[in-house]
Amino acid sequence: MSGWNPATAVGSWDKKIGADEAENHANWTSNPAPNNMVFSDPKITTSGSTGEAILKKRVEDAVAAGFGAAVVSGTDVLNSPGSYFINNYFSEGDYSAFGHIDGAYRILPLTLAGNEYKNLDPDATVVTYCYTGQTSAVMSACLRVLGYDAKSLTYGMNGLYNTNPAWDNTVNKWGGDSGPKNLPLVQ
C-alpha cells in the first residue's frame, strides 16, 4: 500500500528505508548457506479434537496475538543472529549477490507438501526475511499457526541495506519501480 501514492508512503516506508545498517556490518556476509537440517514438527497444545477445530483455534490465537507479536527489527537480528533461526527467502542467486545475515539458511521453497518446513527449528525463534517484508510476514503468520515462534524481519532487505549496489535495478527495491505511484486516493 505504501507504493499506491506518495501520501501513503510518508511515515512508513520512506522513514524505514535507507538505514543501510548491514553495510560493512560484521554479521553481513556472502558466505554460502549452511546445510539445511531436519527437525521434528513443532509441538502445540490444543483442546480441539478435529483438524478443523484445531486449525480454527490456532488461527484465532494468531490473530489475537496481533501483528506486533510476529515481527522483529533488522537491527536486533543483525546484531545478534545467533539468537534466532534465520531463513533468508531470496533466490539462490540473490542470496549470494546481495549478501545476507551471517548464518542465515535459505529454505526456498518452504511448503508443507514438500516437508521443507521441517528444515526450521521448532525450538528457536524463526525469523524469515525477504525483499520487502511482505512475503515473510505472510509466511510468519502461517508458521505461527503451525506452532512456530515465527517472526518477520520488518521491511526485509529494503530495511537492512537498501543502497546495496547489487540490489540496484531490482523490482523489489523501494524507490525503483516499487516506489510510490501517483494513483488516486479515495475517501
List the CATH number of the domain containing 124. 3.40.250.10
Mean pLDDT score across all residues of the chain: 90
Query: Is there a domain that residue 187 lies in?
Result: no
Please count the other Cβ atoms lying within 10 Å of the Cβ belonging to residue 110: 16
Query: Is there a domain that residue 18 lies in?
Result: no
Residue 126 is predicted with a pLDDT of 98
Question: Under a CB-based contact definition with an 8 Å cutoff, are residues 82 and 101 in contact?
Answer: no
Question: 97: domain range?
Answer: 33-167
Query: Is there a domain that residue 113 lies in?
Result: yes
pLDDT band at 86 (very low <50, low <70, confident <90, very high): very high
Query: Is there a domain that residue 13 lies in?
Result: no
CA distances from 177 to 3, 58, 134, 145, 153 (A): 9, 37, 16, 33, 22
pLDDT band at 166 (very low <50, low <70, confident <90, very high): confident
The whole-model pTM stands at: 0.89
Sequence-distant (6+) residues with CB within 8 A of 116 are: 107, 109, 110
Query: Is there a domain that residue 92 lies in?
Result: yes
Residue 75 is predicted with a pLDDT of 93
Residue with cell 510518508: 10
Residue 19 is predicted with a pLDDT of 73
Query: Is there a domain that residue 179 lies in?
Result: no
Kindly give the pairing relationship between strand 85-88 and strand 100-101.
unpaired
How many domains are there within the chain?
A: 1
pLDDT band at 13 (very low <50, low <70, confident <90, very high): low
Helix (H/G/I), strand (E/B), else coil: 150: strand
